Structure 1
């Protein structure tokens, strides 16, 4: 006799498991689309549809726990694709075994995925009384802001950065920063999903309203860019030369190679020397020795500024001996055309496990894993250096992805942003392209020219409208010569910062209180 009892697939059982194959696939698809929204392998337009598969997965009658798991799947797929290069750095320059490099990268991806898991879980919790187009963008900004600042912060490739080539929409960053673009992307995804899913007049009306909002932002971009163009035309400027030495990271700190390194930078600088009184920029730690110690290498750099009759900005490690201590700093020096040190900036925001080791004294295993890594000292603050009557704000490496650093410079009437970095650590991965793309936003947020000198690329010149005027390729010995303007355009974002994030935190508190009130009311009936 044939048994007609249905066989239950444990993977598809809603009661015994957290998700079905279909919902897991949809969550993973969203992760893939998010990964492909960023350089080097993707395109920014994919971000505008990236959340729709996840929203369909969350549409099922899933619990909050199931929503957390689905969000975590989305996060893991996207972040493994975005930060896979961390394993490359750990293995090649941390000298750890392959398996450990992959494990550490996956641990960071798990931590970052936690925020997307919370995003999805909260959507499930609020969905009964709050429409998706109201909750999703607000939730996303709250968690993205948390990711950017908690535990020293990791704002690497926040969602809005995917739009660095979307010139007109990008202009909105001078009002709301990168979070403003993130908000618009999630809002569009939510509205489009509701239109596809429900297909009612109300959803179509909401969709039209969102399109009108985006059209308004686009029109603002056209108008604002015209203002920027006029300001640039009426401003004074100067020539700059950005020197990309392309020094192999494995040789960079070899004492036998110091003179050759310096000769490479000197020759490129002389060959591409700008007009007298202009600016030459070398990358982070381009001088692989202690410049402050007077020796033949020190004199060679001083003589170069005399030969070119130009200002010279370059990176070097420095040290300060006070009260018996010995602190080292990741620094930038500014030499005048007369060969005089006119300023020194010490990096403020250090890279965890690259320039300092958090939790070294709390967890013994951290000390073992990071043997050989020293702690750099922290600079006093983001204070601009004076170039005659102009001010330049220095952003060393990772600081180029920090909006608050550029804002502080703008608030001190800085005239030019200079980002110096050494991206040789990243190899030919997607990281150098991602790193460069984020610096575009600093120019728009402050409406200043930004010049970027990178040891192995990407070096570039970005105008106050976020347009990439010129850039180099990676792993090429090169120099970029161009002309920048000293523009003075006030911006709402530079003055007030991430007000949008504060509004979103207020809204999310209101949403949860309203939802809690509704649930309590239902329980008492």
Structure 2
């Protein structure tokens, strides 16, 4: 050490001092931050891959405590904080995906933080603020109803507004509690979210004011849902006789090899080997993942010839995910899936209806280009399809959805509504890498099966591939990041469920309750404000009369 300089020693706390430090930390207005962090941690741990689903039933208690302690404005801030931290923990995979594509650390951080804050605003932020403003004037028995309806309304808006991103809705946390989630046949996933929020709010009312009626009501509702679910489980557990023997190919192609011409032969050889091996089991249909073909059909003639030859060699039908572009039609490009017959002819195709923002198309391109954001694929912008397409394989009608279309019950119900008896989902989750995202994506399919009472066969490039029954029970799966195929015997079902026929009626009812309640509250608020003004004027007049005397 140079002469004249002194070593600065930083005293470290002793072990016995730690409890006191924590008490001082909590006393210095850090309690709201800790409570926000607690709510966020509970939310993250309730979803895959932790799957501590029971925790979600108390996740709002810390937020509600702050709401009544700090008031609406503070609740908005801390609600946003809790939602932001929770989404960082759930959507962390976005950082990996953006970083791998752009090599921009800052860009990856901005993308993750922006989306996390956007979703936080839709859920806990606006919800906590609105409840803080309106909730104190509502009857105690009606407060859980309004709070749950408001939450469902915000989830529905998040599902559809600005392209929509309904990832990790509350109800999805209960994907493996089959008796409870059977109500989705009538309410969609929103019914499960409603019950979770209802219980949270009624439990807080009981803990804070010993109001037991809302808590008992919530327990009765949950019990009724479970009892109904057990009945529905028994009713839908028996499938019709299997009639469609289907093979699923999991190619396990690296995301950054898919569109590199250097690896085209490797990809073709891998899928050829898988298809020929699976064909030895004589399946009726072979299903490939989303965008499995490394080029455009039918534009790339050599790829069309390859598929035609392979179909004839395997003597069976193929459902193949591939980008679609036909120069004779237009200059538009689509993410599509093609049904190929045993002669190698294309007999139908489905164009993906709902595209992923920043993954398949660039929203507000002029604005985001200022910040250097670009698509996370090398194919450019896709054009969305217009409607679900039902295809027929050996007299069985199938509904072939593509990747993120399974986010939306409103899209998936369109397939059975048009006659589909079995559902498929072809996906490419390679750009999620080894994160929790493939698991969270896969479990959304559980609700789509219950809503429509259809078997669904999922075929993923890197996984997870597998089958889900009409009850939501997950069957045999192919593990992530393995190259393999699997055989499944599929049973068609032509039953039309309440959800298939009427869609999101439940969320519409919740939205109506929310709008009417806010409308009544606002009209009363305006009247009270006018009344206060009149009283103030009368008081001033009385004061002037006194002054004159």
Shift of 1:89: 0.6
1:262 is the counterpart of 2:231: no
Query: Which range is displaced more, 203-212 or 404-413?
Result: 203-212
1:459 is the counterpart of 2:465: yes
Structure 1: 5+ residue runs without aligned partners? 1-10, 14-18
1:221 is the counterpart of 2:239: no
Shift of 1:276: 4.0
Task: Determine the structure 2 residue equivalent to 1:7.
Answer: none
CA displacement, residues 189-224 of structure 1 (integer Å, 9 cap, x when unaligned): 11111122212xxx3232222112111111111111
1:370 is the counterpart of 2:365: no
1:184 aligned residue (187, 195, 211):
195
Secondary structure in 2 aligned to 1:380? coil
CA displacement, residues 231-273 of structure 1 (integer Å, 9 cap, x when unaligned): x1x3442211111111111212122321221221122222233
Task: Determine the structure 2 residue equivalent to 1:470.
Answer: 476
How far apart are the structure 2 equivalents of 1:519 and 1:498?
31
Structure 2: 5+ residue runs without aligned partners? 1-24, 533-549
Matches within 5 A, 1:233-382: 234-273=240-279, 276=282, 278-293=284-299, 295-321=301-327, 325-361=330-366, 364-365=369-370, 368-370=372-374, 374-382=380-388
Task: Determine the structure 1 residue equivalent to 2:40.
Answer: 31
Task: Determine the structure 1 residue equivalent to 2:18.
Answer: none
TM-score by length of 2: 0.87
How far apart are the structure 2 equivalents of 1:174 and 1:379?
26
CA displacement, residues 23-56 of structure 1 (integer Å, 9 cap, x when unaligned): 2321221111111111123322211111111111
2:46, 2:52 within 8 Å by CA — same for their partners in 1? yes
How many residues are matched?
502
Distance 1:96 1:226, change over 3 A: same
How far apart are the structure 1 equivalents of 2:88 and 2:343?
49
2:299, 2:326 within 8 Å by CA — same for their partners in 1? no
Task: Determine the structure 1 residue equivalent to 2:158.
Answer: 147
CA displacement, residues 357-396 of structure 1 (integer Å, 9 cap, x when unaligned): 1111456515x43276721122232121222322211211
How far apart are the structure 2 equivalents of 1:373 and 1:483?
35
Query: Which range is displaced more, 78-87 or 375-384?
Result: 375-384
Task: Determine the structure 2 residue equivalent to 1:481.
Answer: 487
Secondary structure in 1 aligned to 2:46? coil
Task: Determine the structure 2 residue equivalent to 1:507.
Answer: 513
How far apart are the structure 1 equivalents of 2:112 and 2:328?
37
Shift of 1:118: 0.4
TM-score by length of 1: 0.91
Query: Which range is displaced more, 23-32 or 161-170?
Result: 23-32
1:382, 1:409 within 8 Å by CA — same for their partners in 2? yes
1:422 is the counterpart of 2:428: yes
2:423, 2:457 within 8 Å by CA — same for their partners in 1? yes
RMSD, matched Cα: 2.2
Secondary structure in 2 aligned to 1:460? strand
Shift of 1:119: 0.2
1:275, 1:310 within 8 Å by CA — same for their partners in 2? no
Task: Determine the structure 1 residue equivalent to 2:51.
Answer: 42
Task: Determine the structure 2 residue equivalent to 1:446.
Answer: 452
How far apart are the structure 2 equivalents of 1:317 and 1:518?
56
Secondary structure in 2 aligned to 1:351? coil
2:298, 2:326 within 8 Å by CA — same for their partners in 1? no
1:79, 1:109 within 8 Å by CA — same for their partners in 2? yes
2:169 aligned residue (158, 161, 164):
158
Shift of 1:518: 4.1
1:126, 1:135 within 8 Å by CA — same for their partners in 2? no
2:113 aligned residue (99, 106, 118):
106
How far apart are the structure 1 equivalents of 2:515 and 2:295?
52
